[in-house]
Amino acid sequence: MQKQTVSVKNSLYRLLGTKMIYKNLPFLYFLCGLGVIYIWNVHEAERNIRKAQTLQTELREEKWRYMTIQSDLMYQSTPTMIERSVAEQDLHFLTKNPVVIR
């Protein structure tokens, strides 16, 4: 008699277990959907962080490039460098004041 009650209990637990699973299936689907959305959100955040880091490196490189070009321009616009660059065209700075014609 003991054997029979044990098998009845096992079958009852099995029956309740499967009914419980089928009953809660929409909730399990909802949890799986939330998990997928969470994983997608983490991947998007990591992608955005990587993109921001590459943009920061590009910005840093462009800033250095700008500063180099600016310093070269400042150096090239000094009077001695201007005089050297136009010397081959036989142009020179005035050493005396210009003459006023009346």
What's the average pLDDT block by block, 10 residues per block, for the chain (102 residues)?
57 70 88 98 98 98 97 90 83 82 88
How confident is the model at residue 1, as a pLDDT?
A: 47
How confident is the model at residue 67, as a pLDDT?
A: 97
How confident is the model at residue 29, as a pLDDT?
A: 95
CA angle 6, 10, 15 (to 5 degrees): 145
Distance CA 85, CA 96 (A): 21
Global pTM reads 0.56
How confident is the model at residue 48, as a pLDDT?
A: 98
Q: Which residue has the tokens 């136009």?
A: 86
How confident is the model at residue 95, as a pLDDT?
A: 81
